Amino acid sequence: MLRVEGLGHHFDGVEALAEIDLEIAEHDVVGLIGPNGSGKSTLLNMITGIYKPSAGQIRFRERIISGMVPHEIVSLGIARTFQNLRIYKRMTVADNIWAAQHSLPGVSLRDFRSGKQDDQIEQLIDVVGLGPRRDELAQTLPLADQRRLELARALVRSPDLLLLDEPAGGMTPVETQSMAALIRDVALPGRTCIIIEHKMDLISALCGRICVLNFGRKIAEGPPDDVLKHPRVLEAYLGMDGARHA
């Protein structure tokens, strides 16, 4: 479904990504890990068209998307969340989710809100557990709920490819488990997914395959058990000495 070929990106002289090759088939759930600054978010930014590659290309369903504008790419069926959490803080939970589906064809310019309930949206709000808070301003929600809201917004348009950037960022272990369950039960079924995370338990639980980046390059890829014991991966996270003692 998604093919990244020889992707590279330069940033003010820094090589953020280099020679990235990645192939993701339909319904794969791929984890993307690596130390801070290894280029994980940059990769997502490039898939969604925020950055243009300086080398290589990205194909979505065999179609080259790496030169396209973000709103076009997203309309092909890709959605994402952000590492530093992006939602509309000045809108209510319900409005946030309603607003996420504005671009769908058939939602006309003059659609009124006036009490009309869209069942699908209401279901989604309940499914992520935000039912009781649907009329609160997003900025008043605790972090964990804001992340759920962000996830719900990404799901509204039933994307085929879902990109999650640290969906459990800032959460306690209990909240993380809850989020992992939510992703597993609601987000993953029938969908292809790339998940960036630092929390290995979440990655191991959800992902069939992990890809590891370090300094913008891929250093390992494979099933969780193999990758997490891979010497180069340990070296990347723990340093040379740490890897030797691990």
Does residue 23 belong to the site contacting other proteins (CB under 8 A)?
A: no
- Shortest distance, position 112 Cβ to other proteins, whole Å: 6
- Shortest distance, position 22 Cβ to other proteins, whole Å: 21
The single residue among 12, 62, 225, 241 that binds other proteins, judged by CB under 8 A, is 12
Does residue 107 belong to the site contacting other proteins (CB under 8 A)?
A: yes
Does residue 84 belong to the site contacting other proteins (CB under 8 A)?
A: no
Does residue 61 belong to the site contacting other proteins (CB under 8 A)?
A: no
CA angle 160, 131, 82 (to 5 degrees): 45
Give the binding range for other proteins (CB under 8 A) out of 17-25, 26-34, 109-117, 227-235. 109-117
Q: How many residues does the chain have?
A: 246
HSE-CB of 246 using CA atoms within 13 angstroms: 16
Report the 3 state secondary structure along 180-225. HHHHHHHHCCCCEEEEECCCHHHHHHHCCEEEEEECCEEEEEECHH
Does residue 88 belong to the site contacting other proteins (CB under 8 A)?
A: yes
Cβ contacts of 10 within 8 Å, gap of 6 or more = 16, 54
Total residues in contact with other proteins, by rule CB under 8 A? 40
Give the binding range for other proteins (CB under 8 A) out of 88-96, 172-180, 182-190, 191-199. 88-96
Dist CA 89 CA 152 (whole Å): 15
Torsion of CA 220, 161, 145, 147, to 10 degrees: 50
Contacts to other proteins by CB under 8 A: 10-12, 45, 48, 50-51, 69-71, 74-75, 79-80, 82, 86-92, 95, 98-100, 102-104, 107-114, 135, 137, 157
